Amino acid sequence: MARFSRESRLGFVGAGRVGCSLAAALSTAGYPVAAAASRAFDSARRLARLAPDAVAYRTPQEAADRVDILFVTTPDDAIRQVASDIRWRAGQGVVHCSGVASLDVLAAPVAVGAVPGAFHPLQAVSSAENGVESLPGATFGIEAEGEMRSYLSEAAEAIGANPIFLRAEDKPIYHLTGVLMGNLLTALGAVSAQLWETFGFSRAEGVKALAPMMRQVSVNLDASGVPGAVAGPYVRGDAGTVRKHLDALAERAPQYLPLYCELALAGLPFALERGPIDERRAAEIRKMLEEFREGPPSPNHPQPETNQGEQPKCA
């Protein structure tokens, strides 16, 4: 008889954004979420309110004693300790939701016969409410074997997500891609909005102007892939435009020059792959970016060639 099924009772230890979002999504999909615990009891009660049959408990042990599978949705650095402090039953499921940690953080429950798994949503979750809405269509990175692997894959599909299976050694790079796209893309959006203050607008106005562009970039990337979605002055080979960007940053916000240069340098190979920029023009832009990355050059530094006489290209 299968140990894990859609009738298995679920519990959550850790009631942050991911825990609350996942509990609500699984409950909506028909999975019985029965217990919640958190460092703050009010947080456990908040999670319990998101699932009709859930009860909030004051300790992780109380939650673990009442469920077949316990999801540990604490911060990554706390997973090992939380898992080690609980008295597990043989055959009980224990699942953490870290994207970078492997199953070795669950060594203590495994030693007494618990069945481990990892179930990570590759999604930017800003709140429980937004998380529930954003989980359908997201990718879930799964590390597990046998029955737990099948259970977690089916759970991802039940909430409309895309399950993929990961090896332990691949998880740091997998997670890094999510940080680049989520956390650091948010930081890039924040920097871009902050720059609006240099020409007389508020940061909030910058966010309002740039957020629709960020949404469209994701649409373009999904629809056209790489390099099809790559656009802008690098694809066109507009060295003069890039020079104007660099001069403006050097004058008004020099602290962001290295960021701009590193991102542009990282994107140049994709611009070459897309075209119509050629290697000669790419080399010119690359040299300019490398020089500005170390600090603005002298005022007598030669200006780059422009595309005068060429027909404008759309990219």
Question: For residue 300, what pLDDT is reported?
Answer: 56
Mean pLDDT computed over every residue of the chain: 92
pTM of the model: 0.86
Question: For residue 299, what pLDDT is reported?
Answer: 61
Asked whether residue 37 carries a pLDDT value surpassing 60, the answer given is yes
| Helical ranges in the chain per DSSP H | 17-28, 41-49, 60-64, 79-85, 107-111, 128-134, 146-158, 171-181, 183-194, 203-228, 233-236, 239-252, 257-274, 279-293
Opening angle at CA 59, ends 132 and 149, nearest 5: 50
| Phi-psi group of 146: left, alpha or beta (phi > 0 → left; psi -120 to 50 → alpha; rest → beta) | left
Q: What is the mean pLDDT of residues 173-190?
A: 94
Helix, strand, or coil (residue 276): coil
Asked whether residue 31 carries a pLDDT value surpassing 90, the answer given is yes
Each residue's pLDDT tens digit, 228-250 = 999 999 999 999 999 999 999 99
Quick one: pLDDT band at residue 124, thresholds 50, 70, 90?
confident
Q: What is 156-225 written as a DSSP string?
A: HHHTT-EEEE--GGGHHHHHHHHHHHTHHHHHHHHHHHHGGGGGT--HHHHHHHHHHHHHHHHHHHHHHH
Quick one: pLDDT band at residue 2, thresholds 50, 70, 90?
low
Each residue's pLDDT tens digit, 58-113 = 999 999 999 999 999 999 999 999 999 999 999 999 999 999 999 999 999 999 99
Quick one: pLDDT band at residue 315, thresholds 50, 70, 90?
very low
